A and B are shown apart, each in its own frame.
Chain A
Amino acid sequence: MIRLRNIEKVYEQGVNKTYVLRRVDLDVREGEFVSIMGPSGAGKSTLLAILGLFDSAWTGEYHFWDAAVHRLGKKERAELHKSHIGFVFQSYHLLDHLTVYENLDVPLSYKDIKKAERQAMVADVLDRFQIVGKKDLYPNQLSGGQQQLVAVARAVISNPKLILADEPTGNLHSSQGREIMELFKRLNDEGTTIIQVTHSEQNAQFGHRVVQLADGWVVKE
C-alpha cells in the first residue's frame, strides 16, 4: 500500500541545513498496524505528515497504492488524502468554536455525503466512543483526554482505509488509552491500515511491527 524510498527532509535555516529525515525506506502493506517509535525530535511527526500527504517539501519516492505521490500536484494529494486517510494530530486540533458534534461533522462536510447520512455517521461515532453526552460541549469544556478521544473519533468517522495517528493516547489515562488501542485493533481487524506514533511499548504491542526512528534514520524495523 505504501512504499517510501530514499525519503529525505531538510530544513534550511540560512546556511545551516538540518536533516530531519535521512534516506528513509518504508513499506507498509494493506491491513498492517505499524507503530513508529523514537526519541523526541527524531522526526516521527515529520514522517507522519509526509505519509499523510500534508507535507510536499521532501525528496525521494513515495508510492501510495499505484499513485506516485512525488509526482502529484497539491490538489491531487489533497484529494488522495481526503478519500483514504484519517489523521489524528498530536495536539488534537479540535476547532474551538464548534461543538463536539460539529467537530465530528467537519470531515464529512467536505465529502459528498447527504445530510441524513452524515447525521447517522456522527451519531454512530458518538455512540462508539461513548461521548453522546458531550456532543453539545465545546472543546474547552472537555478534559485533555476527552479532547483526544474526539480527535480520534473525528479521524475514523469517515471510515478511512488508512489511519495515521500521532500519539493518539498521549493525554489519555491508561484505561482510556487501551480502549483507543482496542478500537484501532478492531478497525485493523476489519481491514483498516494503521500507522501510529507512540512512546509507549504497551501501545506498540497492539501493532504488528515497530519502526524505530532516531535522528531521522530508520534504525530498526
Chain B
Amino acid sequence: MNTFGQDIRYGFRMLWKSPGFTLVTVLALALGIGANTAIFSVVNTVLLRPLPYANGERIVFMGEWSQQVPGMSVSYPNFIDWRDQQQTMERIAAFRSANYVVTGGGEPERLDGRQVSAGFFEVLGVQPALGRNFTPEEDKPGATPVALISHGFWQRRLGGDPSIVNKQLQLSNESYTVVGVLPQTFEWQSPVDVFVPVGLGAGNPNMTERGNHPGMYVLGLLKPNVTVEQARTEIKAIAERLAVQYPDSNGGQSAVLDSLQARAVQDIRPALLLLLAAVGFVLLIACANVANLLLARAASRSKEIAIRTALGAGRLRIIRQLLTESLLLSLMGGALGLLFAMWGIDALLAALPENVPRLLVSGIGLNTPVLLFTLTVSVLTGLLFGLAPALQASKSNLNETLKDGGRTSAGVGRQRVRNVLVVAEVALSLLLLVSAGLLIKSFMRLQETELGFNSDNVLTLRVPLPEARYTQNGQVENFWDELMRRVRALPGVESAGLTRGLPMNGGIESGIMVEGQETTNPKDATVAVNLYADPGYFKAMDIKLVNGRFISEQDTKDSPLVVMVDEMFVSKFFPSADPVGKRLRIGGDRAPLRNIIGVFKHMKHYGPDEEDEGRVEIYTPYRQVPQEFFAASNRSLWLAVKTKGDPTSLAPAIRNEVLQIDKDQPISNISTMENIVAATVAPQKFATWLLAVFAATAMLLAAIGIYGVMAYSVTQRTHEIGIRMALGAGRRDVLRMVVSQGMKLAFIGVALGLAGAVLLTRLMSSLLYGVSATDPLTYGGVSVLLATVALLACLIPARKATRVDPMIALRYE
C-alpha cells in the first residue's frame, strides 16, 4: 500500500512535468469516454432499464397475427376468450385509442384518450394519485360512464381541483364521473389525457363482431417465474384453437406476444446499438492514440527505466509504476469525460426523434449505473492503452539503453507496435466512415423517394366531430360541405381537400375482390389500404393521375359507386389490360360492386421506407361510404390545404371558420405535410447525423494518430534523413520517403477496414434503405476520403523532414 501511494505520487509528478502530453491525452480520453457515457446513458435507459412501471419487467404485449397482417389488432370477443382461458399471466387487459372532445369550463378541446379494460392499470402496477382504478362492473355496456384523468390534464384543464373525484366531466357530449387522477409520474407511449373503460362500448357492432379488429391491443402481467416464451406459446395455442373454432372470422390466425419493453424499443434499438458500437470504436481509436503517445514517451524514458532497473526494480514493479500513470490519465480523462457527457446528453435528448416514446426517454442522465459504467470504462481504458507501452518499456535492455540513445532493437519493436496501432486506428475509422456513408446515402435515398404526392405548402389538420352532436349522416356531410366552401374561399388557399387518412401513417386496411378474379375463401382476399377522400384532396396533394379520371363532385351517394386504384393494383390484377371500367368489391363478397374510374400513382402510406411491395391502395369518394357507416366513418376527417405561402399561418383562419360553423368544435393535429414526412425519417436522421459526427471524430483521431507516428518517426530518423540528403536526396525524395511510409500504414488500415466493413455492415442492413451494405461507391468514396486525410496527416511531418539540414549528419561526428 505504501509503495502504491508512492507510485501515485510519483505518477502525478511525472504527468505534471509534461503538461502538454498530459493535456492532449486527457482530452482525447475525455472525448472518447464522454461520448461513450452519453450514448450509454441513453442505451441504459431506453434499452436496458425496465419500463418505469412497478411491474416493468413482467409486462407483455399481445396482438393477433395473420399471414397478411402480422401485427393485427385484437377483436373484442377474442380478447375475452384469451382473458378467460389463459393461465400464464396474473391478468390481461386491453386498450385502444379513442379521442374525445371535452366541453364546459373553457374552449372545447380535443383530448387524447384511451379505452382500457378493467385491470389495465393493475397490469402496469399503477395506482391513481387520487381516487381509484376502474372496477370490472364499470367495464361493461350500460354501466355508469367513468373516467380516469392524467395529472397533466387535471392541472391544465381543471386547475388541479383537489376535489375532482366524483365530479362530472363532459366528454364528447356525454357525462363521465371522474373516479381518479393518475400520478404525475405516469406516462403511456404518448401523452394521454383521459382513460375510460373499453367495456362501455362493448355492445357496439364493431366490438361484438369477432372478425372486426378495432385497433385494440392487449397487455398482460406474467405470473412470477413465467417466461415470455411460455406465455407466447400459451396465447398462440389459444388463438389457434379459436381459429379452428371460428373459421369464418379467425381462420388461419394466430397471436403474437412480446415483452412490452422489446416492443417499445424495436424501432430505435438498431440505431442505438449501432451508435454504441460506434462510440466504442471511437474510444478504441483514442486508446490507440494515447498508447502511441505513451510509447513515444517510453522511448524517451527508457534511460530512467534502465536506471531504475539497475537500482533493483523488478519488471513487475516497473510495469506497475507505468500502469499507475496510465490509470491516473484515464481516470482524469473519465472525470473530464463526465463533463463532456453532460453536454452530450443534453444534445442527444434534443436530437432524439419525437416518435421515441417519452416514457422510454424519461430519466436519461448521469445516474448511478452510468457513473459505474464510466468508472469501469475509464479503468479498462487505462489498462488497455497502458499495458502495451508498459510491457515494451519494461523489456528494454539495460546495457543497450545506456549505451545507445534508443536506435536499438527495442526502438524498432516500439515502432512496430506504433505502426500496428495506427493501422488499427485507420481500419476502425474506415469502418465507421463506411457505416456513416451508408447511412447518409440511405437517408438521401429516403429523402429522394418518390412519395406519390407533393408535400410542399400543405397544411394538415383534423376536425373530430363529436358523436353526440353529429348523429345524422346529413349533419356530418353538411358540416364538411360548409367547411370546405369556407376554407376554399380563404385568401392564400390554393386548394383544399378531405381524407380519411394522410400518407405516412398507414391506413385502414380492407380486403378487396375484383370481379372475375374472386378468391374462393374471402379470407384470402388481397388487403388494400382503403382511403376515402373528396375531389379537392387529389389537387391539394398533387396526386398523379396515370389513367382514367379522378373522383369528382359528380360522384355522390346517389350516383354509381366508383373507386380509384393505384398502379400496384393494376400490376397485380390487370397487368396487361385496362382496369378502367372493371369492377371490384371492398370488404367481403356481399359488398356492392364499384366501377374503377381511374388509376393514380402509388402513394407511400407506410412511410418513405415502406417495403417495395407496399400495399395496394384504393380511393373511394367519402360521400359514397355506405349510409350505415357514413357518420361513424366521416366524423373525423383530415383536411389537406395547399397554400400559397407558409401553410401554418393559415391555421388560425381555418380554426376561426370551424368555430363560425360550430362554436364548440375544436381542431386538432395541426401540422404540415412536410413535417409529417420529416417525422417518419427522424430515427434515421438521428442515427445518421450522430454516426457521421462519431465517424468524423474517428477520422480526426486516426489522422492525429498517423500524424503522431510519422512526426515521431521523422524525429527518430532525422539523422538518417540528414545522411540521405548528404548523399543527394532532394526535397521530393525525402517527402516521398516519409509520405510513402505513412501511406503504407494507411493503405493497410484501409484494406483491413474495408474487409471489416464488408463483414460488419451487414448487421446494420435494417437501417439501410435503397443502398446495399456493400455499396461500392460508398466504400470507394470513404476510402479515398480517408486516404486523403491520411496523406495530409503525413505531409506535415514530411515537410518537416525536408527541412532537415544535411549538416545534421556531420554534427553527429
Interface, chain A (partner B; CB < 8 A): 45, 49, 52, 54-55, 75, 78-79, 81-82, 87, 89-91, 93, 95-97, 106-107, 109-111, 154, 166
Contact = CB atoms under 8 A, between A and B. Distances in A.
B112 interface: no
A90 B813 CA distance: 7
A154 B407 CA distance: 22
Contacts of A87: 726-727
B809 A89 contact: yes
B730 interface: yes
B723 A110 contact: no
19 contacts: A45-B810, A49-B810, A52-B726, A54-B806, A54-B809, A75-B730, A89-B726, A89-B809, A89-B810, A89-B813, A91-B813, A93-B719, A93-B726, A95-B720, A95-B724, A96-B720, A109-B733, A110-B727, A110-B733
A107 B806 contact: no
Nearest to A49: B810
B580 interface: no
Contacts of A97: 412
B728 interface: yes
A91 B726 contact: no
Interface of B is mostly: helix
Nearest to A46: B810
A93 B723 contact: yes
B725 interface: yes
Contact of A111 (B723, B728, B731, B813): B728
* Interface range, B side: 20 to 34
A82 B728 contact: yes
Interface in B690-723: 719-720, 723
A75 B725 CA distance: 11
A97 B719 CA distance: 13
Contacts of A91: 812-813
Interface of B: 407, 412, 719-720, 723-731, 733, 805-807, 809-810, 812-813
Contacts of B412: 97
Contacts, number: 60
A173 to B, nearest CB: 21
Contacts of B805: 54
A58 to B, nearest CB: 11
A96 B408 CA distance: 10
B729 A110 contact: yes
Contacts of A81: 728
| Minimum-distance CB pairs A-B, first 3 | A82-B728, A110-B728, A107-B727
B420 to A, nearest CB: 18
B418 to A, nearest CB: 15
A34 to B, nearest CB: 19
B733 A54 contact: no
B729 A95 contact: no
Contacts of B733: 109-110
Contact of A154 (B727, B731, B806): B727
Nearest to B725: A78
Contacts of B724: 95, 106, 110
Contacts of B725: 78
Contacts of B812: 91, 93
A75 B720 CA distance: 19
A90 B412 CA distance: 26
Contact of A54 (B720, B729, B810): B810
A110 B407 CA distance: 25
Residue with the highest number of chain B CB atoms closer than 10 Å, among A54, A55, A166: A54
